[in-house]
Structure 1
Amino acid sequence: MTDFKRIAEIYAAFPDEMRNFSSEEKSPLRSPIDTMRTRYWYEGLKQRTHLSTAYALEKYFEKESFQRNSDGTIRHYRSKWEGYDNDLNTPKSKTLKRVELLAPGSTREVEHPLWEIMRHVAKKDIELDTHMRELSVDVQEAIYSSGFSGLCAYSKREPVTQRLLDKLEKRASLDSMACLICLILEAIQQNRDSTAVKTANTLHNVLLMIGIELQSRHIALPFLDWVIRHILPLGVLPHLKVSMVSSDYVQASAYLNAMVYQNKSRRGKSLEWPQRVKVMHRLIHGKMGMDVEFAMRPRFELRSDIKDISPEDIKDFESASKFRSWGWKCILEGRSEPFPPAELFL
């Protein structure tokens, strides 16, 4: 299956999942973060193995769970994996080790530093640097540089500049997303509001890129809801509030990822994730037309509880809204316009 067809199928199934998500009851006894990380791991294994049921996965990864009769037929099995499928259990270390042998890297998905960061985001004493040092090598290469003291090497943090943020955006992944969340929290701790705004904008771009892949693992809605509630508001100008919801991100991500394959040289092909990110980065930053650039910018509302918003801020908000609407009109109508019409500048 080509990437384009896969993206289309994921997005086509999204409305049904959205309805189910809004109506289903959440267990008060189970952490939403445990539910998300288990689901991310479980769906990843389904994609790797092309096995669609808990029964098939358990049989593949834990054959010893099945007790057999003398003729080889299955007499009993533990149904442990149905608990993962039904969001009731989180895999223990013993299971993870067995699965890791057949699916290298899968343990990292369920034990990723991102989940721990999410657990502790509200704590004032959260060890952000400790969490960032647990991230992937490519992300650490972006945020740390090496120094020497005699014969000993040490690492030191790089300043949070637009260049560093661009590096993290070009590495769009769970790791870069976790890093950006840490940088936003750090900026708030240090009262660097402008840095928080710039970093939140980069996080927005990363969410646009990975949103459809989160949906392929069936965690897009709860995860994006969490980010929209706990993280993005920390990096917004004082007179604005975030007005995008999780479904907006999934829709934008589906279109953005699909647009990668509109080019004749990429049509009908499948690309490695870093290659796809490279093209999406160019799309988001207007290298292939300003219509996509404006469409993919964050959507805000003016805060109704602030009475003295300056005329300049109101004008900037209205202008950004017009350009964003124009960009989406182009995308939804299947038109490609490299520059906005002159009347939008009036």
Structure 2
Amino acid sequence: MSDFNRIKQLYLTFSHEMREHFDEKKPILRESIEAIRLRYWYEGLKQRTSLHTAYELERHFEKESFQRNSNGTIRHYRSKWSRYEQSIHTPKSKTLKRVELLAPGSTREIDHPLWRILKLTDPGEIDAEMILRTLSFDVQEIIFVCSFSGLSSYSNRKPITQRVLDQLERRASLDCLTCLICLLLEASSQKRAVLSTKIALTVHNVILMMGIELYARKVALPLLDILIERILPLGVMPHLKMWMISSDYIHASAHLNLMVYQTKRGNKRVLSWPQRAKLMYRLIHGYMGLDVQYAMAPQFELNDKVGDIPEELINKFNKASSLRNWAWDSIVEGRSEPMPPAELFV
């Protein structure tokens, strides 16, 4: 559950960290998938337990690791959770099972199929069928259709239509993101350019929704860097190239999540993630005004390595840029303008 003030505080913290990073000119460090998945698990446990330190988490999940004196005071403890906090040591299965008893579903987070997909170096290596069948039931229900043969049942893949992509987007979760990445890798390896572009747009929308929550888990920047470098370009048209960076996605995500609480359905309420995701879907797709739709559209730059770009495509690019600038001006200034000025459509 989340409210306006929580999202606002996350965004303020992010903005402060970005200013410090810029002022101190800190180097950008690449993080491994192993480090990202461990931190996602560790920070998730902090959120669920409302505990703040490695010491508190170790006492909560592994009391037996604390050796005590005869008077009951703590004499020694292993301090292994501090290594989890630093993402330098992965918990063994015994620890994961113990944690799972108190935090059901936590093992799934550290062993999620997403981490396995992101370790692939060649899109052609992916076994889409196998990955998709490991996802949550609600996602499989979207992707597969069940049929019967006598007393037996079996399931086959549905065609990937816009309706299927919309259903995944409305559910925006780690499993939905994994599904979309899997479908994009598959479509790209099959040279299905039009489908790849549609899936990539849906991936873009989902990470816009999830960005601020990924930041709350302290994995947003390194994870988004990977998606921007290796996944999203698979669905970019040849005359364009990625312009947005990971911090752009978190910035947009914070605004999108905050706008949820300014709608009639979200005003002054504490909302669950599924409730927020459905409202963000409506915002992104213009159901509550075209200003948000244009602001949240992916931002590209022209690819100067493809030779001459047709004038029609250049005009379309310039028009999209103008509409996006108008939309962000409206949002930043606090104006609600459902329709852009007529001259922007000329």
TM-score normalised by length of structure 2: 0.96
Contact kept in structure 1, 2:124 and 2:185, CA below 8 Å = no
Partner of 1:155: 155
Counterpart check, 1:330 vs 2:333: no
Q: Is the 8 A contact 1:197 1:237 kept in 2?
A: yes
Residue by residue over 1:156-212, the C-alpha shift from the partner in whole angstroms, topping out at 9 and shown as x without a partner, is 001111011001101100000000001111101111110000000000000110000
* Native 8 Å contact 1:228 1:245 kept in 2: yes
Alignment of 1:23 onto 2:26: yes
Q: Which residue of 2 aligns with 1:174?
A: 174
- Please give the alpha-carbon distance, in whole angstroms, between the structure 2 residues aligned to 1:237 and 1:15: 32
CA apart distance, 1:268: 2.5
Letter in 2 for 1:244: M
Q: Secondary structure at the match of 1:57?
A: helix
- 1:234-260 C-alpha deviation (Å, 9 max, x unpaired): 001110001000000000000000001
Give the C-alpha shift of residue 26 in structure 1: 4.9
Q: Structure 1's 38 and 233: CA in aligned 2 closer, same or farther, altered over 3 A?
A: same
1:73-107, Cα deviation, whole Å (9 max, x unpaired): 00000000000111211111111111111111111
Question: What secondary structure, in the 3-state scheme, does the structure 2 residue paired with 1:339 have?
Answer: coil
What does residue range 152-301 of structure 1 map to in structure 2 within 5 Å?
Answer: 152-301=152-301
Cα pair distance change 1:75/1:90, threshold 3 Å: same
Aligned length: 343
What residue identity is the alignment partner of 1:230?
R
Contact 1:139 1:175 in 2 (8 A): yes
Q: Structure 2 vs 1, CA of residues 47 and 234 (structure 1 numbering), >3 Å: closer, same or farther?
A: same
- Residue 2 of structure 1 deviates from its aligned partner by 5.5
- Is 1:94 the equivalent of 2:97? no
Change (3 A) 1:123 1:168: closer
Taking structure 1 as the reference length, the TM-score comes to 0.96
Relative to structure 1, the CA distance from residue 20 to residue 62 in structure 2 (aligned partners, 3 Å threshold; closer, same or farther) is farther
Per-residue deviation, 1:122: 2.3
Tell me how far apart the structure 2 counterparts of residues 265 and 199 of structure 1 sit (CA, whole Å).
Answer: 28
1:23 is paired with a residue of what secondary structure? Answer: coil
Deviation at 1:266, TM superposition (A): 2.7
Instruction: Percent identity, please.
Output: 59
Hey, what's the Cα distance between the residues in 2 that align with 1:328 and 1:165?
Answer: 26
Secondary structure, counterpart of 2:90 in structure 1: coil
The answer to whether the 8 Å contact 1:2/1:268 transfers is no
- C-alpha distance in structure 1 between counterparts of 2:33 and 2:237, whole Å: 28
Structure 1 gap segments, 5+ residues each: none
CA drift at 1:125: 2.5
Aligned letter for 2:6? R
The answer as to whether partners of 2:199 and 2:235 remain within 8 angstroms in 1 is yes
* Residue equivalent to 2:60: 60
Counterpart residue type for residue 23 of structure 1: K
CA contact (8 A) 1:40 1:219 kept: yes
1:148: how far off?
A: 1.7
Equivalents in 2 of 1:65, 1:25: separation in Å?
Answer: 36
Which has the larger displacement, 118-127 or 149-158? 118-127
Asked if the contact 2:241/2:301 (under 8 Å) is kept, the reply is yes
Kept after mapping to 2: 8 A contact 1:256/1:280: yes
Contact kept? 1:243, 1:300, Cα under 8 Å: yes
Q: Distance in 2 between matches of 1:309 and 1:124?
A: 30
1:98-177 alignment to 2 at 5 Å?
98-122=98-122, 124-177=124-177
- How far apart, CA to CA, are the structure 2 residues paired with 1:2 and 1:168? 22
